Structure 1
Amino acid sequence: MAKKQPDFKHDDYTYTTMLGSLGRAKQFGAINKLLNEMVREGVRPNTVTYNRLIHSYGRANYLKEAMNVFNQMQSLDASLTLRTSYSARWLIRDVLLTVTYNIMIDLHAKARNYQSALKLYRDMQSAGFKPDKVTYSIVMVVLGHCGYLEEAEGVFAKMEEENWVPDEPVYGLLVDLWGKLVTWRRRGIRRCLVLGTFLRVNKISEASELLQNMLALGLRPLQTYTLLLSCCTDGRSKLDMGFCGQLMARTGHPAHMFLLKMPSAGPDGQNVRSHANSFLDLMHSEDRESKRGLVDAVVDFLHKSGLKEEAGSVWEVAAQKNVFPDALREKSRSYWLINLHVMSEGTAVTALSRTLAWFRKQMLVSGCSPARIDIVTGWGRRSRVTGTSMVRQAVEELLNVFGSPFFTESGNSGCFVGCGEALNRWLVQSYVERMHLL
C-alpha cells in the first residue's frame, strides 16, 4: 500500500522495520526476497538493519546464518571507513558496531557456545571496538559458566575503570558470580545446597549423579561431607543412612576415615581425644566455619548414634582448639555465658554437659564458684524465627532430668539462668560429671 502512494519511496528505516517484523515471525524466505528488493531499489542496509537480521537468525538458532550477516556487516564497515570522516568513522565503530558484537556474543552465550562467545569478545577488542556495559555483563556471565570466575571479577574491575556505572542488574549478576566463586574457591558450597535438597526429597539418583559430577570437577569440599553426615544422622530409615554412607565413602574425604577409625572410648577417653586431635590438626588449613560445621555434624552423629562418650571427647578437643570460639565466655567476673545457638541438637546437649562438668572440676580444684551462668539457645526475645527450637527443648529436658536450678527469665524463654548458692550446690553433685551419657 505504501509503495502505491505518489512520491513515496521506501528507505532504510521502513525496510529495516519490515525485516524485523519478518524476523520475529521467522519468515526467512520473505526476508531474503525483501533484501533483494532493497538492493534493487538502491537502499543500502545500515547497522541497525544488520543487527535486526543477526538477532532474527540468532533467535531461531541459525547461528551460521547470523555469522554470515555479521561478516557482511564487517565488510560494510570497511567500505564506510574509507568514505567517512575520522569522527564519523569512530561513531560507527565504537557505538553502532559495538551493539552488533553484543548481539553476537549474547547469541553464542545463550547457545552455550562459550568459547565462541569469548573469541568474539577478543576479536572485538582486537578490531578496536570498545566494550560497553552490556558487553561486560554478557562476558561476565560467559566467564562464570566457564568457571573463569577470577577473570569475571577482572572484567567487572575493568568496567569500573572505564567509568561504566553498574546498575542493579549488573550488581545482581556480580552477586550471582560471587556465589559461584564461593562454590569453586571454597569447594562446592552451592552444589552442596542442591545436593542437600535432592537428599531431603529422596531423589537418590539425582543426588548420586550430582555428587559424581562434583567429584569429576575436583570438588571434594569439607562442606559436602558435612552435609552428607548430617543427612545420615537425620536419616529416617536404615536405607537412608546406608545410601548417605555410600555417598560419604565416595567423596574420599579424610573425614570419612576419621569416623571409620574412631576407637571405642577407653576408661578416660584419651584414645578418642588423641584421634580427634590428630584429625583436627590435619584440617588446620580449612577455614574456621567449615571446621565448626564438621565438628558439629560429627558430635551430633556420635551422640544420636549412642556413642555419647566419644561425642563428649571429640567436643572437648574441639573446645580446646577453639573451633567454637563463642561457646563459653566470661561476661564479667564470675558471670559466664554458655552459647549453644549455632549448634545442632546433639552437639548442644554434649557441649552443655561437658561445659558444666568443667565448671564442677574447676570448683573442686580451686574452690571458686561461678556467681551466674546463662545458657543461651538462640531462642527467645531476640529470635526472629517462629516455632519451637529443638535445641531449646533438648536443653530444657536435660536440665529438668537432673533437677538443675536453672530457670528462664520473664520474656526470654531461650535463655536458662542459674545463679547463687543453689547453682553451686547443684554443680558439685557427682552426676554433673556424667550428664552427657544420658
Structure 2
Amino acid sequence: MGFFEQGALVVTYCSIINGFCRSKTMDKAERLQQMADAGVQPDSITYNSLIHGYSTSVMWKESVRVFKEMSSSGLLPDCNSLMDALCKHGRIDSSKTYFFDSMLQKGPKPDAISYGILLHGYATAGCLTGINNLFNLMVCEGIVPNHHVFRILINAYSRCGMMDKAMLIFEEIQKQGVSPDSVTFVAVISTLCRMGKLDDALDKFNHMVDITG
C-alpha cells in the first residue's frame, strides 16, 4: 500500500471513529483490529479519539487498555484529556496513578495544565494533603503556575477555612511577577469578605479596577 493510500485510510478510519465516539456508540467506534487487519497503522489522533470516547462514556477499563496499546506502539497519549475526564468523575487517584505518574516517569512531562487538572480534582474532593503535595512537586519540577492554578489554590484554602494561606498564595503571585486577573481578584476579595476584612477587600477591589480597567 502506498504512502498516500495509507494516509487516506487512516484519515477515513479516524473520521468514522470520531463520529461514533461523539455519539457514544463505542461498540462501533472500536476499529483498531479492523485497521490492523487492513494493514493500516493507527496514528495518535485515532488512539486519542478512542481514549477520549471511552473516558466520556465512563468506560475506564477500555480507556486504560487503549492507553496501554498506544504507549506500547510508541505514540504519545493525550494524558491531560484522560486525567480531566477521570477527575470530573471523582477518580482522582486513578488519574494520578495511571496518567500523571506515567507522564512523570515516561514523558512527556506534566505541564501547568496537567497540574491544574489534578489540583482541581483534589480541590473538588477537599483533599488538602493532595493539593499541598502536588503543588510542592510542581515547584520542585520548575513548572510555573498559571492563573488557573493560583485560583484553584486560593479557592481551595479559602473553602477549608485557611484564609491566611489563601492570602499568602495571592501575595506569592505578585512576587513572581504575575499580574492577577479579574477572576483571581474576585476569589481573593471573596476570601477577605469571609474573613471579615472588608476594608482590605475594598482595597483589593480598587486595585483590581486599576489593573484590569
TM range (shorter): 0.5 to 0.7
Quote how far apart the aligned CAs of 1:58 are.
Answer: 0.9
Taking the TM superposition and a 5 Å limit, the aligned residue runs for 1:3-14 are 10-14=8-12
Paired residues of 2:9 and 2:40 also in contact (CA < 8 A): yes
Which string of whole-angstrom CA distances, capped at 9 and with x for unpartnered residues, describes residues 41-93 of structure 1?
3221122221110110111111121111112112212xxxxxxxxxxxxxx6x
CA distance in 1, matches of 2:43, 2:5: 20
TM-score computed with the length of structure 2 as normaliser? 0.62
- For residue 116 of structure 2, what is the aligned residue in structure 1? 137
- For residue 116 of structure 1, what is the aligned residue in structure 2? 94
Q: Give the one of 55, 61, 77 matched to 1:58.
A: 55
Which string of whole-angstrom CA distances, capped at 9 and with x for unpartnered residues, describes residues 340-389 of structure 1?
xx9xxxxxxxxxxxxxxxxxxxxxxxxxxxxxxxxxxxxxxxxxxxxxxx
CA distance in 2, matches of 1:115, 1:161: 21
1:105 aligns with 2:83: yes
- For residue 170 of structure 1, what is the aligned residue in structure 2? 149
Name the aligned partner's letter for residue 58 of structure 1. S
CA distance in 2, matches of 1:41, 1:25: 25
Paired residues of 2:22 and 2:53 also in contact (CA < 8 A): yes
- For residue 18 of structure 1, what is the aligned residue in structure 2? 16
Paired residues of 2:112 and 2:146 also in contact (CA < 8 A): no
Which string of whole-angstrom CA distances, capped at 9 and with x for unpartnered residues, describes residues 9-60 of structure 1?
624334223311210012223223x434322332211222211101101111
CA distance in 2, matches of 1:73, 1:112: 24
SS at match of 1:44: coil
SS at match of 1:182: coil
Paired residues of 2:20 and 2:26 also in contact (CA < 8 A): yes
Quote how far apart the aligned CAs of 1:163 are.
Answer: 5.2
Name the aligned partner's letter for residue 55 of structure 1. H
Paired residues of 2:157 and 2:163 also in contact (CA < 8 A): no
Q: Give the one of 64, 67, 70 matched to 1:67.
A: 64
CA distance in 2, matches of 1:71, 1:180: 37
Aligned sequence identity (%):
27
1:180 aligns with 2:177: no
- For residue 148 of structure 1, what is the aligned residue in structure 2? 127
Taking the TM superposition and a 5 Å limit, the aligned residue runs for 1:265-280 are none
CA distance in 2, matches of 1:26, 1:143: 28
Quote how far apart the aligned CAs of 1:146 are.
Answer: 4.3
Distance 1:35 1:167, change over 3 A: same
Paired residues of 2:90 and 2:125 also in contact (CA < 8 A): no
CA distance in 2, matches of 1:11, 1:146: 44
Distance 1:48 1:147, change over 3 A: same
Q: Give the one of 26, 29, 52 matched to 2:27.
A: 29
Paired residues of 1:12 and 1:44 also in contact (CA < 8 A): yes
CA distance in 2, matches of 1:54, 1:113: 16
CA distance in 2, matches of 1:8, 1:116: 39
CA distance in 1, matches of 2:120, 2:159: 11
CA distance in 2, matches of 1:40, 1:151: 45
Name the aligned partner's letter for residue 103 of structure 2. M
Relative contact order, CA 8 A, sep 6+: which one is greater?
2
Paired residues of 1:144 and 1:180 also in contact (CA < 8 A): no
CA distance in 2, matches of 1:45, 1:184: 50
Name the aligned partner's letter for residue 29 of structure 2. I
Taking the TM superposition and a 5 Å limit, the aligned residue runs for 1:253-332 are none
Paired residues of 1:117 and 1:142 also in contact (CA < 8 A): no
Quote how far apart the aligned CAs of 1:150 are.
Answer: 4.7
CA distance in 1, matches of 2:45, 2:19: 13
CA distance in 1, matches of 2:133, 2:51: 29
- For residue 317 of structure 1, what is the aligned residue in structure 2? none
Paired residues of 1:38 and 1:44 also in contact (CA < 8 A): yes
Alpha-carbon RMSD? 3.3
1:76 aligns with 2:54: no
More strand by share: 1
More helix by share: 2
Paired residues of 1:105 and 1:138 also in contact (CA < 8 A): yes
TM-score computed with the length of structure 1 as normaliser? 0.33
- For residue 257 of structure 1, what is the aligned residue in structure 2? none
**Matched positions, count:** 165
Which string of whole-angstrom CA distances, capped at 9 and with x for unpartnered residues, describes residues 239-275 of structure 1?
xxxxxxxxxxxxxxxxxxxxxxxxxxxxxxxxxxxxx
